[in-house]
Amino acid sequence: MIVAALAAGLAASAALADLSGRARVIDGDTLEIRGVTVRLLGIDAPEADQTCARAGDRDWPCGRWVTQELRAYLSGRTVTCAEEGQDRYGRVLGRCRVGDADLSATLAVSGLAWVNPRYELTYQPQEKAAALAGRGLWAMQSVPPWEYRATEAAALAARPPQEAPRTGCVIKGNISSGGRIYHVPGQEHYDRTRIDTARGERWFCSAAEARAAGWRPARR
């Protein structure tokens, strides 16, 4: 459950806001507002496919759970973001709020995201409060997403690349909880995406072919 009241003290200034509207939740720290992808500043939420361990429940999908919690919290609400640059994927880096509450602070104090010590430490007090109260991810066995990504990257590097069955047909049509999505070479999740034709996944020779078959492009 998201704890909004404790985060109100870190509200962003309305004068700085340059993007406002209803948000589509992509994952636990990424939104889309009016067609613009916004990466929330100051926090790092579990990856969408990341799992954690709860008592009596192994490999629990905590990444998907955090996304669902954020989606429920933002349902019907207006999100306002102040842009503070872009990341290497072209996403807007945003300091966002819902009403008077700083959204990153809200997620940290609810135990739904970590503060990466390599970057800014703005929300460490909220993270500490969640840890002491055993809220959210702090109530289970979990690893910060940057450690999870490093482990996944190492495993990927040790695994031989999956080759397309036909020359030039290298677009990967993947089926996930987000639907039918295609990945082109160079995108963030292309290398880690494995095609399983037994599940209905497939390779495409062009983006137009993928769209015509009902797949949509990956956002990053």
Q: Tell me, yes or no, if 216 is annotated catalytic.
A: no
pLDDT of residue 7: 45
Q: Tell me, yes or no, if 47 is annotated catalytic.
A: yes
Rg (CA), the chain: 19
Catalytic residue among 39, 64, 97, 202: 39
pLDDT of residue 177: 65
pLDDT of residue 127: 97
Q: Name the amino acid, one letter, at 54.
A: R
Q: Tell me, yes or no, if 95 is annotated catalytic.
A: no
pLDDT of residue 4: 59
Catalytic residue among 22, 24, 34, 47: 47
* CATH top class, domain 5-146: mainly beta
Of 103, 6, 87, which Cα lies nearest the Cα of 45? 103
Catalytic residue among 64, 91, 95, 202: 91
pLDDT of residue 10: 45
pLDDT of residue 164: 87
DSSP strands (E only) in 51-153? 52-54, 57-60, 78-86, 92-98, 101-102
Q: pLDDT tens per residue, the chain (220 residues)?
A: 787 544 444 443 443 447 999 999 999 999 999 999 999 999 999 998 899 998 776 788 999 999 999 999 999 999 999 999 988 878 899 999 999 999 999 999 999 999 999 989 999 999 999 999 999 999 999 999 999 988 877 876 677 778 888 889 999 999 876 789 999 998 988 888 889 888 899 999 999 999 999 999 998 7
Domain extents in the chain: 5-146, 171-217
With contact defined as beta carbons under 8 Å apart, do 117 and 44 qualify?
A: no
